[in-house]
Amino acid sequence: MGFENKVVLGALPALFLFSACLAEGTECELGSCPTKMGNSNVNNVTVMAPAGPRGEAGPPGPRGGQGEKGETGRPGKLGPQGLEGQKGEKGDPGQPANQGAEGWGGGAVYIRWGRTACNESAGTVTAYTGLAGGALWSEKGGGSNYQCLPADPEWGVYKDGVDGLKAYMYGAEYQLNTDAPYDEATVDDREVPCAVCYSLSRRAQMMIPARNTCPDGWTREYGGYLMAGYRDQAGRSKFVCMDGEPEVLPGGEGNQSGALFYPVEARCGSLPCPPYVEGRELTCVVCTI
Ligand SMILES: *[C@@H]1O[C@H](CO)[C@@H](O)[C@H](O)[C@H]1NC(C)=O
Ligand SMILES: *[C@@H]1O[C@H](CO)[C@@H](O)[C@H](O)[C@H]1NC(C)=O
Ligand SMILES: *[C@@H]1O[C@H](CO)[C@@H](O)[C@H](O)[C@H]1NC(C)=O
């Protein structure tokens, strides 16, 4: 028929035109019925038809572009504790520390016999000074060790008066009958000073008889000559190291009773000679470390 068709989609106008088509007795199929319009221009015909069945879903579209970065999410909850890790490698050694202050060595205390003070230039402190004392040379009992008695005694409970049933303490004297090892004229029968010395930085002390020097690494505190009580007197004593340059206490020049210091001579026999020498006065040295 050569109509110019114009398809208008929409259910309502399509139903209206279909009804008009049937009213004029025209055979036509759904969607292809020509409609005679109000004017005479038959070539200007608008054809309207109902919507066809829904087509199948088309293929998926192309993949979209990447979206913008989202906002930062909220922190998540703390997870469960994990298993213990393996031991790490050993670290590098640290840097050496600064040297600490010099500490207190811990107890090198000794008596310097025959001197009124310790040698404080050698890092030693004088704990106290005094005079040598001990038991009487002629008595069998009492103490045997010489004492460094302080010049300013303090007292406790006492009962004055010599009771007899006691030990006795006497002062002490040098006893010399030769000029070896000390000058008899200036030292014999004089009272003996003493000083108790504390070596701050050293921890041990020893007296070595028959030596005048200390082993390597030790500090020589002082040296001199070995002295003890007379060999044939009843009282016992100890060997002590008298200073090599002994001082005397003022006064006391007389030969008074008391504890006595005699030089000590070597006697060969069980003592090997050489290196020892018969009748030679023995030296001594006090060392700390
Ligand atoms: C078709 O008809 C319409 C309305 O009557 C009109 O406006 C239009 O110009 C016509 N078109 C042609 C090609 O005749
Ligand atoms: C004191 O010690 C110094 C250093 O060891 C020494 O040179 C000096 O002779 C000592 N003095 C005495 C009196 O011992
Ligand atoms: C000194 O006294 C002691 C003990 O009393 C005595 O053995 C000695 O002979 C005396 N010495 C002198 C020189 O008087």
Q: Which atom of ligand 1 is nearest to the CA of 43?
A: 14
Domain finish residue from 32, 50, 68: 50
Residue 133 falls inside a structural domain: yes
Residue 40, domain member (yes or no): yes
User: pLDDT tens digit string along 71-100?
Assistant: 888 888 888 888 888 888 888 888 877 765
45 and 118 in one domain?
A: no
| Whether residue 41 has its Cβ less than 6 Å from ligand 1 | yes
Could you tell me the residue range of the domain that residue 130 belongs to? Answer: 108-153+168-288
Neighbours of 16 (CB within 10 A): 11
Ligand 3 contacts CB of residue 257 (under 6 A):
yes
Ligand 3 contact, 138 CB (< 6 A): no
Q: Work out the pLDDT band at 14, boundaries 50, 70, 90.
A: very low
In a domain, 88, yes or no: no
Tell whether 32 and 123 lie within a shared domain.
no
Residues 134 and 7 reside in one and the same domain:
no
Q: Is the shortest distance between the CB of 122 and ligand 2 below 6 Å?
A: yes
Q: Examine residue 95 and state whether it is found in any structural domain, yes or no.
A: no
Domain count, the chain: 2
Tell whether 35 and 173 lie within a shared domain: no
> Residues of the chain with pLDDT > 90: what percent?
54
The reply to whether 283 falls in a domain is: yes
Give the pLDDT confidence of 227-262 residue by residue, as tens digits: 999 999 998 899 999 999 999 998 777 777 799 999
- Judged by DSSP in three states, 120 sits in helix
Q: What is the number of the ligand closest to the CA of 43?
A: 1
Same domain, 25 and 126: no
**Which one of 136, 255, 260, 262 would you pick to mutate in the ligand 3 pocket, going by the greatest count of ligand atoms within 8 A of its CB?**
255
